[in-house]
Amino acid sequence: MIATVTLNPALDKSIYIDRLHPNDANRILRVEVDAGGKGINASRVLKELGSETIALGFVGGKIGSFIEHALKGEGIPTDFVHVNSDTRTNVCIQEMTGSPPTMLNEPGPTISEADFDQLFDKVREVAKKSSFVIFGGSLPPGVPKDIYQLFVKVVQDSDSKAILDSEGEPMRMGMKSIPYMIKPNREEAERLVNLRVKNVGEAVRAANILLGIGVKVVVISMGADGAVAGSANEMWQAVPPKVTPVSTIGSGDSMVAGIAHILDKGGSLGEALKWGTAAGAATAMTDGTEICKHRQVQELVGKVRLERLS
């Protein structure tokens, strides 16, 4: 089983308009709502690909209930901690011009020490039954910056493998416990190693620096340029086929899920990167917060260009 932990889930609301006119009335063409958050997106993709998964995290109020109901409707078990305040809503304004969306993200509910302790116990128990535990996303108010550092240690103590996909100080502190795998994007990798990461060679250099810390697998995603994945013994580059991106929301989470799905089945790192790249590209082809479908991913896997790097 592959568990996911989303500390700051959201109701993702995508609003589609012809063109955004600031300080003026805008007519909405359509609205889509869905359960969102890095771990939640990963669980949805894992389920779609055929992996057993369970989603953990904090939820509250009517929005939290909506998220639980949506996941259970997709056949995804949940074990959330219920908090007193409402789960946040994130708004994505997508212009039909194809320009990048405008994101409006709420901070999320304040988490109490009792809430944190309850989730800590749940993660400890689920890690004992999971091969991988995926942690991802921003932190809600009240959660200590070192929470991923604590969670990664709990997973390791349970002989499971932690995958971390966050940014900023929570990511830096989480890496102190040496997670099994991290997946920064190009910009996040630059901040982690304090070096430029604009091409494959620079991504390989950054990956090697991060591997030197002790992380077993480093994946650096680079959008349409694909991704680089490395371990102590091998380094791979995967380039997706040319697709028409509709929305990149959830693409990185889909990549993490695709990689974990294959690694959990005993597949190689190269094969895992290939599936992760295909899953990310397939999700980019979908509207708003929709995720990839298994059929799409299978079609794209054979079109991903995989190269072993020296």
From 12, 34, 165, 253, the catalytic residue: 253
Q: Are 155 and 181 in contact (CB under 8 A)?
A: no
Residue 252: closest CA among 103, 36, 60: 36
Q: Is 121 a catalytic residue?
A: no
Phi, psi of 2 (to 5 degrees): -120, 115
**Active-site annotation, residues:** 253
